[in-house]
Amino acid sequence: MFSSNPFADLTVFLSPLVMQVYIVVMILAVAVGTLIDMLHKGSAKFFLRQRARSKANATRQLGVGEHLSLAIRTLLKEVITSGEFCNPMRRISHLFLFYGFITYLITTIILVFIYPTPATPAPPIVPQLWNIGAMMVLVGGYWFFFLLRVDVAKEGNSPFRLVRADLFIVSLLASVTFALIWEFVQAGENLMATKIVFVIYIFFTSLLFLSVFWSKFAHMFYKPAAAYQKRVEEANGSSSLPRPSNVNNIVR
């Protein structure tokens, strides 16, 4: 089961083209949702104002090499290793989520576009990575949802108390959970049950990608940009934040 392409068996009741078009629509939905979110919150204007202010208040000019170095450091810390998390447990759960979701997403695209039918069997490693990525999402996601959320870990609220900020994690976990349930049911060769679970899987997947404007999905694009801008301001002397030495003086 874990070595076969679950999307290839959809040809029993669904054309491969339908899933391919669906994925393209979901990608466009994320792009449009992020753009609308930026326009609504004024994020683009904010970053442009911050950049202009940074240039005007800079005490030194940064060269191309310095900008590249700052970009690499941002990529290594804020993106690849999630170094912005002080809590090691949150950091580990986030890394499971991040790398699991990336693996799951990329292998889904490969399975749907490159190996869409039983006549084009995928190498076993691809569906295996799809399953591994999905399970990583569930480990990191459920760990975060039940134990590490601020309102649960710090405020003592029930993990089942949901607010709009939970829309992203809830829809992601539901989507990936039903993806694995669908794969398991599909192996039982019960066509009706397979169709029902597949519809539920598509519903939560659509909710995940169509709700970008209302969820925290777009934050994954903002955070690296904000972290990079902060590094630039600290390097060119335009940052308005106190340096550690100043903080120590104030405390004393």
pLDDT of residue 34: 84
Higher pLDDT, residue 60 or 106: 106
Q: Is residue 3 part of a domain?
A: no
Number of domains within the chain: 1
Q: Quick check: 128 pLDDT over 90?
A: yes
Query: Quick check: 138 and 172 in contact, CB under 8 A?
Result: no
Q: What is the DSSP string of the chain?
A: -TTS-TTGGGGGTS-HHHHHHHHHHHHHHHHHHHHHHHHHHTHHHHHHHHHHHHHHH-SSPPPHHHHHHHHHHHIIIIIIS-TT-SSHHHHHHHHHHHHHHHHHHHHHHHHHHTS-STTSPPPTHHHHHHHHHHHHHHHHHHHIIIII-HHHHTT---TT---GGGHHHHHHHHHHHHHHHHHHHHHTT-HHHHHHHHHHHHHHHHHHHH-TTTSSTTHHHHHHHHHHHHHHHHHHT---SPPHHHHHHHH-
pLDDT of amino acid 35: 85
Quote the pLDDT of residue 154: 65
Q: Is 72 a domain residue?
A: yes
* Whole-angstrom distance, CA of residue 232 vs CA of residue 168: 30
201 burial type by CB count under 10 A (0-12 exposed, 13-18 middle, 19+ buried):
buried
Residue 228 lies in a domain: yes
Query: Which of 2-11, 18-27, 184-193, 225-234 is the least confident region?
Result: 225-234
> Which tens digit of pLDDT belongs to each residue from 200-221?
999 999 999 999 887 776 666 6
Domain carrying residue 221: 8-236
- Residue 158 belongs to a domain: yes
- Quote the pLDDT of residue 252: 33
Q: Looking at the domain assignment, is residue 63 inside a domain?
A: yes
Distance of CA 86 to the CA centre of its chain: 19
Cβ burial 59-96 (10 Å sphere, 16+ → b, else e): eeebeeeeeeebeeebeeebbeebebeeeeebebbbbb
Report the distance separating Cα 231 and Cα 70, nearest Å.
7
In a domain, 252, yes or no: no
pLDDT at 222 over 80: no
pTM: 0.81
**57 vs 191, which has greater pLDDT?**
191
Does residue 242 lie within any of the structural domains? no
Which is more confidently placed, 236 or 132? 132
Top-confidence residue, 14 or 245: 14
Whether the pLDDT of residue 116 is over 60: the answer is yes
pLDDT band, residue 118 (cuts 50/70/90): very high
pLDDT at 247: 41
C-beta of residue 5 within 8 angstroms of C-beta of residue 115: yes
Mean pLDDT of 172-184: 96
With a cut of 60, say whether residue 251 has pLDDT above it: no
Burial of 158 (0-12, 13-18, 19+ CB in 10 A): exposed
pLDDT higher for 225 or 204?
204
Which pLDDT score, from 0 to 100, does residue 199 have? Answer: 97
Q: Is residue 21 part of a domain?
A: yes
Q: For the segment 86-105, what is each residue's pLDDT rounded down to a tens digit? A: 788 888 999 999 999 999 99
Range with lowest mean pLDDT among 51-55, 61-65, 165-169: 51-55
